[in-house]
Amino acid sequence: MPTYSYHCEKCLHKFEAFQNINDETLKECPKCKAVSLKRGFGGGSATFQFKGDGFYVNDYKKGPKNPSCEGCKNSQKCS
């Protein structure tokens, strides 16, 4: 779900709201109750959120750090 940023043109209150793309735009300011909100994109979920396997640097290692280490060659933890 995208995060939308809202700002009130009357009292200048700023806040973010998680909303479905198909949800209607909020119209009433939660602070002053005026119907003067403008919507934009927030920074929260406008960025990608990677979840699960395969998204971390250590998931893409090509080989052991120290090729001479016997523990690395045998897929065991090194000391």
pLDDT in tens, 42-76: 655 445 556 666 656 655 555 555 666 665 655 56
| pLDDT beyond 60 at 21 | yes
What is the SS3 assignment for 16? Answer: strand
What mean pLDDT do residues 10-32 have?
Answer: 92
User: From CA 70, how far away is CA 28, in angstroms rounded?
Assistant: 66
Q: How confident is the model at residue 34 (pLDDT cuts 50, 70, 90)?
A: very high
Contact indicator for 26, 52 with CB cutoff of 8 Å: no
Place of tokens 């009433």: 28
Whether the predicted model's global pTM rises above the 0.85 cut: no
Amino acid 41 reads F
